[in-house]
């Protein structure tokens, strides 16, 4: 006769113990994905107002009003496990909205905007200017244009995407910047 093995009176406890032991042997869950760089629209450069040539600066002299309306996107970080170096790739969509002014005689306008990358201390590490053509077809006087951008930031060992910021704004002249600051009450 073989010896009898006692059966626990609470089979649920045995299953719980088995589950806990099994869970302890599972590999650790992967760490959370690194944060993306912060993206911001530069307030003083978020709008652009173009006027007819000359000293007039009232509503009847406006040829174009445009603004960086919003942005969206995502990033992907690739870091070499041995060296700790890598890159963060940012895919962005930037929405520009524009309105033809009463003094406009053209249905097309090319404007420039910038994308700048800075470190935590806001030192500009890279800056690139892009042109966008705003074309008002037919009798349209307002439009929205989406620009797709991809930015790559090289990472040294120990750096992450969250160590950087990306700034977007219009490429303004000194006069346009003064106009924006006056308009915004600065």
Q: Which domains does the chain have, with CATH numbers?
A: 38-183 (2.60.40)
Residue linked to tokens 């099994």: 22
User: Which phi and psi angles does 166 have, rounded to 5°?
Assistant: -120, 130
Q: What percent of the chain has pLDDT over 90?
A: 76
pLDDT in tens, 107-147: 999 999 999 999 999 999 999 999 999 999 999 999 999 99
> In the β-sheet with 47-51, what is the strand arrangement from edge to edge?
47-51, 62-79, 86-100, 142-155
**pTM for this entry:** 0.79
Beta carbons of 137 and 107 less than 8 angstroms apart: yes
């Amino acid at each position: 006769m073989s010896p009898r093995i006692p059966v626990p009176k609470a089979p649920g406890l045995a299953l719980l113990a088995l589950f806990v032991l099994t869970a302890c042997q599972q590999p650790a869950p992967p760490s959370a994905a690194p944060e993306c760089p912060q993206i911001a629209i530069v307030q003083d450069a978020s709008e652009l107002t173009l006027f007819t040539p000359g000293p007039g600066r009232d509503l009847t002299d406006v040829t174009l009003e445009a603004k960086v309306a919003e942005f969206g996107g995502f990033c992907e970080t690739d870091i070499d496990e041995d060296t700790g170096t890598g890159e963060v790739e940012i895919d962005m969509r930037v929405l520009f909205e524009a309105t033809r002014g009463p003094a406009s005689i053209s249905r097309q306008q090319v404007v420039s905007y910038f994308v700048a990358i800075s470190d935590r201390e806001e030192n500009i590490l890279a800056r690139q200017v892009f042109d966008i053509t705003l074309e008002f077809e037919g009798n349209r006087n307002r439009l929205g244009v989406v620009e797709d951008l991809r930015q790559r930031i090289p990472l040294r060992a120990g750096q992450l995407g969250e160590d950087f910021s990306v700034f977007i704004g219009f490429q303004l002249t000194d006069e346009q910047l003064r106009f924006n600051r006056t308009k915004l009450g600065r």
